[in-house]
Chain A
Amino acid sequence: MLLYIVKRVIAAIPLIFGLLTITFFIIRMAPGDPASLYLQGNVDPGIADRVRRNFGLDDPLPVQYVKWLKAMATGEFGVSFSKHRPVVDILADAIPNTLILTTLALFLNIALGVLIGTLSAVTRGSWVDNITTVLALFVYSIPEFWLALMLILGVSLHLDLLPAAQMHSPNADQLPAFAYILDLAKHLVLPVFVLGFASAAATGRYMRGSLLDVIKQDYIRTARAKGLPEWKVVGKHAMRNAMIPVITIVGLSLPFLLGGAVVVEAVFDWPGMGNVLLEAIFSRDYPVVIALTAVSGFMVVLGNLLADILYAVVDPRIRLE
């Protein structure tokens, strides 16, 4: 198993490297000037040229690429053009904020998805199944930003139940520890809900289909025949096998949760990777964009790997070699 993981990780290195190279060229060849902030009235036009030179953008593209390769080889992500600080520091600030958001959302996704999928499957054809099917389709079709804005207007503004933006209330740094965490929890509710809810609808559909397949199997009939209570039949025997496709989905949605967080983070002003990426793209902050691509690429690889490992955990017949 360990050997398998090591092999997979090594195989991923050229993949991520290729991805970064493509990103390197695409972003540099895209129109837009990282020094555009300095192109304004009252600022000497020569300043923008100098800033470009400081960024190393006056070299020909191949030279820039070789320099960048050298830096990458030493694990050097460079300094952000717009934030004037090491890219690593920017990531170190943003990653925990995003992870807390997406991990909780993923958890909500699985818990809610498995729950409604199972409910829907065991009551197949009944009104409960029909209603959840329609609702799931409806929720899945709602654009995230719209759902987020509606929740801000409804839950935050009109009902005044939850905060609308950011991670903490003003002056939260002066609160005692417990109140501080509670304050954070309140800020998490809406973004986690938006991120997790729509994907839960999809997960639920997969869970339902998969569970229905499994329930038809002979060993389920056997389980019922030996007199096991229904919750044990479904919960213990059927669920375990039905989870396999769900695990695939969850593994693959790991990077999507980071990607999806761009919209949700922007609407809720959550200070995470999505917001950093958005700002970096708009200001043509090349080092930050490259670093974020590296992280996303890594997440894709990790998600796939995790899904494969989980198969083996759930299904003892699958062995990783």
Chain B
Amino acid sequence: MFTRYSTLLLLFSLLLSSCGKKSGSKSEDPRPGTAVVAIMGDVDNFNPVVSAELIASQVNDAIFPQMFDVKFATGEGRLVYGPMLVKSWEFLNGQKDIRLDLRGDVYWEDGVRVTAEDIKFSYGLYGNPEVSSPRQNYVRNMIWTNGKFDVDKSIEIINDSTLIFHFDHTYPTQLFHLNLPPIPKHIFQNADLRTLDSNPANARPLSAGPFRLEKWIRQQEIILARNPKCNLPYPAKLQRVILRVISEPVTRLTELKKGTIDMMWPINPEDVQDLQLNYPSIRIETMPPRVYEYVGWANIDFKAWNESGRKVVKPHPLFGNKRVRQALTYGINRQEIIDGFLGGYGQLATSDISPIFRWAYNFDLKPYPYNPEKARNLLAMAGWTDTDGDGILDHNGRKFEFTLRYNAGNARRAYAANIIQDNLKKLGIIVKIEAVEGVVFYEKIARKEYDAFLAGFSVGLAIDPSDRWGSDIRNPMNHAGFMNTRVDELIRYGQNVKSYLEAAPFWKELQAILHEEQPFTFLYWIEEIVGINNRLQNTKVGILGAMNEMWNWTIGSPQGSVVY
């Protein structure tokens, strides 16, 4: 009996003593040459053609050969392209064609050369409807025959290292659309296209980038190891970068504070002060605003539209009037939401073109101030007054009340919804708040079943207003059911010029229209907060993400695991 107890005791004490070790040896780096990043969810696919999650494309960028060295020129506010796999390029035929000259010395991990064939093959997959690539849009301006992407007419191979892309017209973001990473043709050429997303080869990607996938323990971690053969641009400086899947926010933050992970995002603004005061080994960096939040208003009567089989288009009884929408924006104290929740990490929005795009952003537009008096006047002009003295605005016998919905579990939106409810109550508008489970919420928005909702949007790096504006109400992304023929024209003009600067006046006018019409009440731009342990250095947190240029990361002097 005693021996059994003593064995147990011995095991227990062994466990405890080994627990203490970590904090005892502060000078010793617990994981030399390794950086650990916490990610919220697992990568869905290591095949860039079919991966749909944002995190997957960030990781795949470090594994697959990159066509261009893409940087964001903050001063100008636009993407600039340098040589990578593409050694040089030339615009031909009045910029409708682009010739790419590839480097001849880039190899996949298995020793096979990366050639023009890989690129043509991959673009064929990106554009093939059977594959259902989320990036099919990238080929939409190349050559199509009978409603199908024509890869042979779009891409002409001159030799192993030279190819010409043909477009049906010129536009400012042509190079952006040439930046999709190729996958190895010799691995996938016989793959069944309909099941490409579950092809077993996806889990063992062939690298030609600075990292290779060493190990993927699903739902747990992704171990990226330095690819010593890489010359695109060069092997990663770290031996390993481990991405740990930690979805619970409190747990993730605890791991950062403990020093078990070296980087995480997003950090809640309310946690920043604690980190700055009590954890000097952690630095705080931010990503410039690419995400905005808004209150979506039904510009047209969604109910009538849906019930008539998507035919009847008439103004929404509450939000169909521009003056009402303007009044709602005047009547919502957006700054109060920013001050209360985002602290210094938010700024008022005027439209959905981010201020990071300095060349296109309309600096003349001033955000609507919080002005309940003006709101009341505008509502009165639109016919909304309190005729029966019950404190609620009414018009033609209808009271001004509606339900504002947001996705459950989003603390920021819950906070904003409460302030909006409170603000509008002062105007005599009754707002009911309803939190809806996420998947249902987004589906109902896309189907135009919600008249008022709080949502957010992450804008792409190339300005493309056609994805959500324009008069096509059937587009599921046109959440407001907004229609404006001038906007249609502006989008067409902006997408048919040769250089980005020529598009600037069109995008500025587009913003002015959105500012005037207020199809949404644009609330604020959000800067995402990244926490980094100081042992991890040479990070380049920015518009291109927190893991941007991961191959340049290095490990500095190790820090103690816990600092109080």
Contact = CB atoms under 8 A, between A and B. Distances in A.
Nearest to A161: B19
Interface residue SS majority, chain B: mixed
A267 B248 contact: yes
A208 interface: no
Contacts of B538: none
A38 interface: yes
A42 B250 contact: no
B489 interface: no
A146 to B, nearest CB: 11
Contact of A47 (B132, B215, B458): B132
A170 B536 CA distance: 15
A46 B129 contact: yes
Contacts of A279: 41
Contact of A39 (B203, B219, B442, B562): B442
Interface stretch (A18-26, A82-90, A254-262, A293-301): A82-90
Interface stretch (A214-222, A243-251, A269-277, A308-316): A269-277
A51 B132 contact: yes
A276 B18 CA distance: 31
Contacts of A46: 129
Contacts of B562: 157, 160
Interface residues of B, number: 73
Contacts of B20: 161
Contacts of A165: 244, 246, 248, 251-252, 254-255, 260
Contacts of B251: 152, 164-165, 267-269
Given A45-B476, A165-B248, A282 B257 contact: no
Contacts of B18: 182, 186
Contacts of A163: 260
A90 B217 CA distance: 11
Interface string B423-447: 0000000000000011110111010
Contacts of A36: 439, 442-443
A173 B223 contact: yes
Interface stretch (B157-165, B194-202, B356-364, B384-392): B194-202
B236 interface: no
A45 B477 contact: yes
Contact of A42 (B137, B197, B257, B440): B137
A283 B247 CA distance: 15
Contacts of A41: 457-460, 464, 467-468, 477
Q: Which 4 A-B pairs have the closest CB atoms?
A: A32-B439, A84-B198, A41-B467, A271-B219
Interface of B: 14-16, 18-20, 22-23, 31, 34, 36, 41, 44-45, 50, 52-53, 129, 132-137, 140, 194, 197-198, 202-203, 215, 217-221, 223, 240, 242, 244-248, 250-252, 254-255, 257-258, 260-261, 437-440, 442-444, 446, 457-460, 464, 467-468, 475-477, 561-562
Interface of A: 31-33, 36-48, 50-51, 54, 79, 82-86, 90, 93-94, 149, 152-153, 156-157, 160-171, 173, 182, 185-186, 189, 266-269, 271, 275-276, 279, 282-284
Given A41-B459, A152-B254, 15 more contacts: A40-B134, A42-B467, A43-B134, A43-B135, A48-B476, A84-B197, A93-B219, A94-B219, A164-B260, A165-B248, A185-B15, A186-B19, A269-B246, A271-B220, A282-B438
